Structure 1
Amino acid sequence: MTIWTASLDDLTNAGTLTRSRNKVISVVDARRAQNCTILLSKLKLSDKEIKSALMSMDTKDQLPPDMVEQLLKFTPSAEEKALLEEHSDELKSLARADRFLYEISQITHYEARLKSLFYKKRFAERLAELRPRIAAVVEASKELQRSRRLKKLLELVLAFGNYMNRGQRGNAQGFRLESLRRIGDY
């Protein structure tokens, strides 16, 4: 039998030519899988690199904050975890998104880890946003502490309260600030 006269079936049966068609298995919703694949292509990291970044709280800064936020959308549901687990012996046949979802489904407390990582990534930005407000509150507090007029006003309120409560609870050393709301009732 020569190669020129052999049929395709003869060659396949003889082991000379093998055709392999890899079937791609996907158990995740098609739209969700497509969106996940798009995100993964933007990240340009392997599943293991993403998993490693999550496990180490991204100490190498491989994951941008916006991508971490996007990854939160791809937390596998319990149903997806069960379906992916059924195909754990066929990982190479799973579609890209399915393999990724399987990998992250193996991470304990995946969603909590991702939320913590997102918080960590956004912390400096949020602190920068809040710094002016914090400074304003600190400055207002210092101003109130230095104010002689406020001190005199509070002394008057205490004296007034002691006068109103003489014989019952008079001669108090102080009062609660919430009591100031009730001054208008008298």
Structure 2
Amino acid sequence: MSSLHLDMKDIQHAVLNLDHAVVDLETLQALFENRAQKEEMDQIERHVKSSAKKENAKPLDKPEQFLLQLAGIPQFSGRVFCILFQSTFTECISNVQRKVQMLQRVCTSLQSGKGVLQVLGLVLAFGNYMNGGNRSRGQADGFTLDILPKLKDVKSSDNSQSLLSYIVSYYLRHFDEDAGRETCVYPLPEPQDLFQASQMKFDDFQRDLRKLRKDLNACSSETEKVCAVSSEEHLQPFKDKMEQFLTQARTELEEQEKQLADTQKCFVELTLFFSVKPKAGEKEVSPNTLFSVWHEFSSDFKELWKRENKLLLKERLKAAEETIKQAREKSAYSVKPKHASGMKAKLGQKM
């Protein structure tokens, strides 16, 4: 109270009216955590009762006075619990939503992204070409994903270029019309997105949503208790605001639970699409098993992609400069009129 320079009336107003203008949520959190527990309140109340019968009784010290005044706010604990949960719910659900949406976006891109399929097609085509003399390996219909990070280690006969750099160059020069321009779009999922996806676990998301569901039910229960024992004077605006929040929170939580289930289904389909098997000791394929391979490949691919784009940009600039130079030379070239100097011209001048 001394450090915050707050009056108990300010705290009571904030709690009863859900007004955080003077008492912010961080302060309410500190007050909630430091509120008197049942045993402490029993001791304080016994002291107050016994002191009332004594003339020279020792008064309560400031901390105990503060706890007693705090407990005097109608339904302080239940109200503040609901207020704090309301403030954290949006952040928690948004955090899960952002991660799940990113994971779903990566899954969709890997399974149906035009650039991804073109790059994989090139890998298969060049792999078959290089193994053309081998009947068993030169007519493959597909390949396992663990080949992708190894492409950078396959070198040309003069060791000047890797297979991956050749694929990147071929893709940009034959499949991307915007290559060498600012509008050129990276064809694979971003390495950073793939790394984040590789660190995610569906069990963590499910645990977070279960906890939110449990806390939401607890908040609903506390809201009912507060409303049941509150006087008419202190019932509003708490009742209307909390009921509105609880309705909206239930809807958002149900939508997020459905989105998580859809994303998990999308991930399972992706593992089947790429024929990825669980690692030894795993019952099912984890995001780390699938996306760590793609993260390594995308990181290598993007580094070469950026380098090749710069090279193409220089080529375009050089070609443009050459075109401008030729245009200037053409405009500077002019044919001077030929002056007549023969006998006929001289006679014409005399006449």
Give TM class, smaller chain.
0.3 to 0.5
The TM-score normalised by the length of structure 1 is 0.43
Structure of higher CA gyration radius: 2
The TM-score normalised by the length of structure 2 is 0.26
